[in-house]
Amino acid sequence: MSTLICHDCGNYSVWRNARQDRNGNQSATCGDCGATVTSSGGTSMGTVTGGMRQTR
């Protein structure tokens, strides 16, 4: 399982508003710079503020 990393600032541990759709695609807002990061497949996130939402 890979780790989700922000391409703008390099953050890998603090996230906000994480979401996962029915296909396993994930998106989250970087807790440091506010950029939106997307990923497909199983990625690991550190701390998610505001919880994780799943769409089925």
Amino acid at 17: N
Average pLDDT, the chain: 84
d(CA 54, CA 7): 23
pLDDT class of 51 with cuts at 50, 70, 90:
low
* β-strands 14-20, 43-44 pairing: unpaired
Q: Going by C-beta distance under 8 Å and a sequence separation of 6 or more, which residues neighbour residue 34?
A: none
Q: What is the pLDDT of residue 29?
A: 93
HEC-encoded secondary structure of 13-27: CEEEEEEECCCCCEE
pTM assigned to the model: 0.74
CA angle 47, 39, 13 (to 5 degrees): 20
Tell whether the model's pLDDT for residue 19 goes beyond 70.
yes
Structural domains in the chain, sorted by start = 2-54 (2.20.25)
